[in-house]
Structure 1
Amino acid sequence: MLLLAALTLVGLAPGLITAWQVYQEHGWRRAVLAGAAVTVGLPAVLILSLIMFPPLAAAAAACSAILALKAYGDDQIWVGSTWTCVLMVALWCTGWTT
């Protein structure tokens, strides 16, 4: 669980840093918009890179499947379900699902 919390913080850090820097110059309105754009933009770039390079998506799908099975084996239903969602997105990026 600690690893998931760390990954969440790492994913939010660029948006928070951007928001802080924009806030110092332009105020809260632009800071919130810039922080949200950076935070949403990073997963979009990841998904686009998986679509543009399907072998990377296949590797991500394989790793996600292994991690989902391990999580389900350890009775961590929510973590396993999250990895299953990542697996389905990766398979969608490869074009293997309908």
Structure 2
Amino acid sequence: MAKKYTPEQAEKWGWEELVASIGAPAGYIFISIGLALVLLLKPIGWVYLIIGIVSTLVMYFVMDPKLRAVSDEYERRQAEFLKHVESISKWEGKDE
């Protein structure tokens, strides 16, 4: 799961997005139901709470490498753009 992605690979949809699209709602639902049942002192609430936490962790570890690759590429492009804007605003790079 700890795979390195290039920005181009991270943009393509695959099994990771399927896991995330199933895991995210499942995690929220199980955590919500589990917490409610724990507050009502029902022992099954702990099971639901643990399932929700595990679902959330799986989703995080599956999607995080792809999100980091996209984020790193965005930061690189943003730095290039800011450098370009700064050079234009200082009138650099133009032949006088």
| Greater per-residue helix proportion | 1
Q: If the length of structure 1 is used for normalisation, what is the TM-score?
A: 0.40
If you compute each CA radius of gyration, which structure gives the higher value, 1 or 2?
Answer: 2
Higher relative contact order (CA 8 A, sep 6+): 2
